[in-house]
Chain A
Amino acid sequence: MTMYWNKKVECMSREEMRRLQSERLVKMVEHVYNDSTYYRKRMDECGVKPQDIRSIDDISKLPFTTKQDLRDNYPFGLFCVPMEDIVRLHASSGTTGKPIVAGYTKDDLAMWSEVVARSLMAAGVSKDDIMQVSYGYGLFTGGLGAHDGGTLIGASIVPTSSGNTEKQITLMRDFGSTVLACTPSYALYIADSIKKSGFDIKDFKLRVGIFGAEPWTDAMRRDIEEKLNIKAFDIYGLTEMCGPGVGCECECQNGTHLWEDHFYPEIIDPVTLQPLPPGEKGELVFTNLTKWGMPMIRYRTRDLTTLHYETCECGRTAVRMSKILGRSDDMLIIRGVNVFPSTIESIILEFPECEPYYMIEVDRVNNTDTFDIQVEVKPEYYTDRITELAALKKRITARVQSVVGISPNIKIVEPNTIERSMGKAKHAIDHRKFE
């Protein structure tokens, strides 16, 4: 049986949702215009006044906010309430430059707990569960976010935080934890440690995993599910919006439901910055509709995805986001056409003859962009017939041409030529010099 934390909102009609979003956006825009020198200045520069925003449809009139804006205004420049109303600070460890700081009012924390509660329940967690929170507690939003949401639904929280894995495992077994909340990579580490310690997974009562804060593959999901004997769910979030709980998968695992009465999602073309119709792939942009302390207006996530508005089989009408399909920062413009490495990757994966590796190489020769894609053929597909390899090259070329719109030069390279790396592999080399 499907459980909902807030059925009224999670299953409300699209029309009601738009009305609620409109109402909240109008209030939010008044708030940021009146209470933030930063946002007032940005809106004035664009010639937008709060009275121009009458419904959610007017959102495209508002200027975007970027990670750079957050860095430029470090630490508190985007706070929209006096410091006395801020009751919590979190910060993300930026891989480059200054950290991203988030400030929360009491109401903001209540909202955050609410969305985490919805997320947990969508994944089947209830007050009857014992939830071990193995996300790091501290400046990172994962630990306290999961903690507060789990507390709200009444689950028994075991706040182990991350690390000290031996002890984690012992408590997990002795307490009979039924839910594990942590990063997917830590879940795998725990699974392998259980095995190494000689414990039997049958002595554990785990049934659900709530994993997020980093990208993970379907293969990793299957691996974790098998090793821990659980069903693994992806919880989505980003520090700029609040932390984990911006959305979560439901039991159907058919995309991530976004709690859009609090975080309004848009998909834009990363080049023209124009909104795209539902279902089209583009950059995800979020607007906080209810977070008062440090609201983000049209925050560009740089994540590429698609949004789907059909009602889910679980009964929720809340919009579903597909898997993150890449980063808009990775986009290449070749012969005037936008090319995302993630698109090339999905094409290569369509060919059973090819290894799942590729490398895009772009250069400029005689004022024309060259567009090479290196691919490797699986050992069992090599033959003595050069015509077969030439035919494969032709088929890949045609497929890329039809999807991307420009014709690549497919280069079949020898085995183990393309660099293998876990995680953020480099998929493109751009030799062009733009002075």
Chain B
Amino acid sequence: MLIKQLSVFLENRLGRFSQIAKIFSEAGINMKAFTVSENAEFGVLHLIVSDPEKACALLREKSFAATLNDVICLQCPDVPGALEVALAAITEAGISIEYMYAFAQGSTASVIIRPNDLDKCIEVLSENKFKTLTQEGLNSI
């Protein structure tokens, strides 16, 4: 199961993130999670939002370099060491993770994973009985 992540290229310019936040709040788009991958000169902002298609179109309209891509949303079982087991299974299968970030909603914790091989990663997780969220599942939380 995959969900849509919104990625936005940002030069290291102050204020760009607050512009994005403003655009979303005016359009009634809910930001569930975000993180930034960056190097010395630029960054890519990753966002999980309530309506990714609409959010992407809005940002592009305003000349933001926004794209949509698939990521895995792993629903973390409330058991100690569960994430460790999941990551070990992924690594053992020879899959590498580009980046990952976590967020909590109520009592549920979710981990966004961007592996180099999405299909294989999904396969490994389901074989190991881990639960991944669909877009609908995510929005209904």
Contacts and interface: CB of A to CB of B under 8 A. Distances in A.
Contacts of B41: 393, 411-412
Interface in A154-213: none
A393 B43 CA distance: 13
Contacts of A416: 63
A386 B11 contact: no
Interface string A370-391: 0000000101001111110110
Contacts of B67: 379, 382-384
B38 A386 contact: yes
Nearest to A390: B39
Interface stretch (B2-10, B26-34, B87-95, B121-129): B2-10
Contact of B60 (A379, A389, A390, A393): A379
A415 B63 contact: yes
Contacts of B25: none
Nearest to B114: A384
Contacts of A377: 9, 65
Contact of B7 (A384, A390, A411, A415): A384
A415 B64 contact: yes
A412 B43 CA distance: 11
B98 interface: yes
Nearest to B98: A385
Interface in B3-51: 5, 7, 9-11, 13, 37-39, 41-44, 46
B67 to A, nearest CB: 5
A404 to B, nearest CB: 21
Interface string A86-126: 00000000000000000000000000000000000000000
Contacts of B69: 383-384
A372 B66 CA distance: 25
Nearest to B46: A384
15 contacts: A377-B9, A377-B65, A379-B65, A383-B7, A384-B69, A384-B98, A386-B42, A393-B41, A412-B11, A413-B11, A414-B13, A414-B63, A414-B65, A415-B64, A417-B11
Contacts of B10: 414
> Of A384, A386, A411, A413, which is in contact with the most chain B CB atoms at under 10 Å from its CB?
A384
B65 A384 contact: no
A415 B8 CA distance: 11
B-side interface mostly: strand
Nearest to A410: B41
A413 B13 CA distance: 10
**A-side interface size class:** 10 to 19
Nearest to A387: B98
Nearest to B41: A411
Interface in B83-125: 98, 114
Interface in B57-79: 60, 63-67, 69
A390 B10 CA distance: 13
> Of B38, B41, B69, which is in contact with the most chain A CB atoms at under 10 Å from its CB?
B41
A414 B59 CA distance: 12
Contacts of B66: 382
A58 to B, nearest CB: 54
Interface in A392-428: 393, 411-417
Contacts of B64: 414-415
A389 B98 contact: no
Given A414-B63, A414-B64, A415-B64, A389 B44 contact: yes
A393 B98 CA distance: 19
Nearest to A416: B63
A389 B65 CA distance: 12
Contact of B65 (A390, A411, A415): A415
A394 to B, nearest CB: 11
Contact of B39 (A379, A384, A386, A411): A386
Given A414-B65, A415-B65, A384 B11 contact: no
B11 A414 contact: yes
A383 B64 CA distance: 13
A385 B97 CA distance: 11
Pairs A-B, 4 closest by C-beta atoms: A384-B7, A382-B65, A386-B37, A416-B63
A413 to B, nearest CB: 6
A382 B45 CA distance: 12
Nearest to A378: B65
> Of B38, B60, B63, B65, which is in contact with the most chain A CB atoms at under 10 Å from its CB?
B65
Contacts of A387: 98
Nearest to B6: A384
A389 B46 CA distance: 15
Contacts of A390: 39
A383 B98 CA distance: 12
